[in-house]
Amino acid sequence: MAEYNSMELMITIAARNLEDGAVVLVGTGAPCAAAMLAQKTHAPNLVVMFEAGGIAPILPSMPISVGDSRTFHKGIMASTMDEIMTNCQRGIVDYCFLGGAQIDQFGNLNSTMIGEDHEKPKVRFPGSGGANDLASLCWKTMVVTPQDKRRFVEKVDFSTTPGFLEGGNSREEAGLPKDTGPYRVITNIGVYGYHPESKRMMLLSLHPGCTIDMVHENTGFEMIIPDQYDITDEPTEKELTILREEVDPHKYIIGRVAR
């Protein structure tokens, strides 16, 4: 088996979660690399959208922003952010990728601030952008992030982006569309989903070489560990070759090692 780093592993896993014919809204970085890898392997009919308006482009190389001209290259439509958000409201976007400084056990994300005082935070981040809209309206939200106790917290300092809120049926009770919400969290340690009733985060797959102790050591809340879970399939030679030679040959993304 070929050697690979943690970023290559996370991108490969994310790509495998995108089926042929699905619609995915991505940003730059790892999500875009995952979408490109999926298109070039098992999902040639994957429809990729970008927040700035690009719909179904054939990406010639890795874009550096959601408004990069490459996100419109040979696409079916050069639309606007308004059109993209309208498509989310229409319910035609299957997946979106989001991130943040913190995530809690119910998949709520914080990309606004660290601290207790909104006026004088310890650290201030960019905020929501379109993240709140996407997580509220797209069917399935995926997160690709390194895992540690700073990021995986008991309660986010600021709820920028809704996950399953307080768990159970609280998301639907708050008025968000039924059957939408967090779907997968892909880290350098494992792949996580959510318990169907409590909506708490739970382990689905542990990466080769990782242990349950590593899950606990890098999680600031009680992760559900089921009696049975999978061991992640390692990236194949074909996936790594395409990722390295066609998707990100300059190693803008895969050159970073998730820690």
Give the SS3 label for residue 26: strand
What are the pLDDT digits (tens) for 57-88? 998 889 989 899 999 999 999 999 999 999 99
What are the pLDDT digits (tens) for 123-180? 999 999 889 999 999 999 999 999 999 999 999 999 999 999 999 999 999 999 999 9
pTM of the model: 0.95
Cα 199 to Cα 7, 29, 58, 137, 153: the distances in Å are 27, 28, 36, 18, 16
* pLDDT band at residue 258 under the 50/70/90 scheme: low
- Mean pLDDT calculated for residue range 179-202: 98
What are the pLDDT digits (tens) for 239-257? 999 999 999 999 999 997 6
Integer Cα distance of 245 and 248 in angstroms? 6
> Does the annotation count 197 as an active-site position?
no
Judged against a pLDDT cut of 90, whether residue 1 lies above it is answered with no
What structural domains does the chain harbor? 6-146+154-182+234-247 (3.40.1080.10)
Integer Cα distance of 119 and 230 in angstroms? 44
Rounded (to 5) percent helix, strand, coil in the chain? 25, 20, 55
From 3, 51, 154, 239, active-site residue:
51
* pLDDT band at residue 40 under the 50/70/90 scheme: very high
Q: Report which of 104, 94, 158, 95 is spatially closest to residue 128, judged by C-alpha positions.
A: 158
Beta strands in 77-137 (DSSP E): 77-78, 95-98, 102-103, 109-110, 113-114, 123-124
